[in-house]
């Protein structure tokens, strides 16, 4: 069985843990519970005639209290860069993380999840911001851990990559 390490990266409170929980257990909670350190979940998916075991590394969100620990990324096949569409700062943080990862993990596949699409009317992230990501060659997914929109797709894309 092929095994792939996928890291969840992004600012704090953007919904990294919620996306993993939605994908792995089909559950969602409105309550924000901060992640400290790392939690690894597993999910086996069938890609054509091949089983792929995804090791989903849910990393603590980055902020002044908890900078990104690069050693956690060792051996990752891909990563999901999560942005909270309602918080412009999470977009800026995602760009910084992306450029940091590009220095050492250029080969890793990347998907952006602009999360909380269920409340898109409250978004601060605009089409111009999304165009900025597009110009970097990053695939953008508008997701909602709450409604499950595009959640499975994004993990499957990385399983296929």
Q: Which residues bind another protein (CB under 8 A)?
A: 5, 12-13, 32-34, 36-40, 42, 55, 57, 61, 63-66, 69, 71-72, 74-75, 87-89, 124
Q: Would you say 37 or 153 has its CB closer to another protein?
A: 37
- CB 68, min distance to another protein, A: 11
Residue that the structure tokens 């992004």 belong to:
10
What is the rounded CA–CA span in Å between residue 38 and residue 59?
5
CB of 139 to another protein, least distance (A): 26
Query: What is the Cα–Cα distance from 92 to 83, expressed in whole angstroms?
Result: 9
Residue 13 CA to residue 5 CA, distance in Å, equals: 22
For residue 159, the minimal CB distance to another protein (Å) is 16
**In Å, how far from its chain's centre is CA 120?**
18
Instruction: CB nearer to another protein: give 2 or 38.
Output: 38
For residue 84, the Cα-to-chain-centroid distance in whole angstroms is: 11
Q: How far is the CB of 148 from another protein (least distance, A)?
A: 21
Which among 22, 40, 38, 55 has a CA at the least distance from the CA of 153?
Answer: 22
CB-wise, 124 or 153, nearer to another protein? 124
């Amino acid at each position: 069985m092929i095994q792939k390490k996928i890291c969840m990266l992004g600012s704090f409170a953007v919904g990294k843990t919620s996306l993993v929980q939605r994908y792995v257990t089909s559950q969602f909670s409105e309550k924000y519970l901060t992640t400290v350190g790392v939690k690894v979940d597993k999910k086996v998916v069938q890609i054509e005639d091949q089983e792929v075991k995804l090791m989903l590394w849910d990393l603590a969100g980055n902020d002044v209290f908890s900078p990104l620990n690069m050693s956690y990324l060792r051996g990752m096949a891909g990563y999901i860069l999560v942005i909270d569409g309602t918080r412009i700062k999470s977009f800026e943080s995602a760009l910084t993380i992306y450029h940091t990862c590009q220095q050492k993990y250029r080969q890793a596949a990347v998907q952006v999840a602009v999360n909380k699409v269920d409340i898109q009317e409250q978004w601060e992230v605009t089409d111009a911001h999304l165009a900025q990501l597009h110009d970097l060659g990053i695939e953008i997914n508008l997701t909602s851990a709450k409604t499950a929109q595009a959640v499975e797709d994004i993990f499957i894309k990385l399983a296929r990559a």
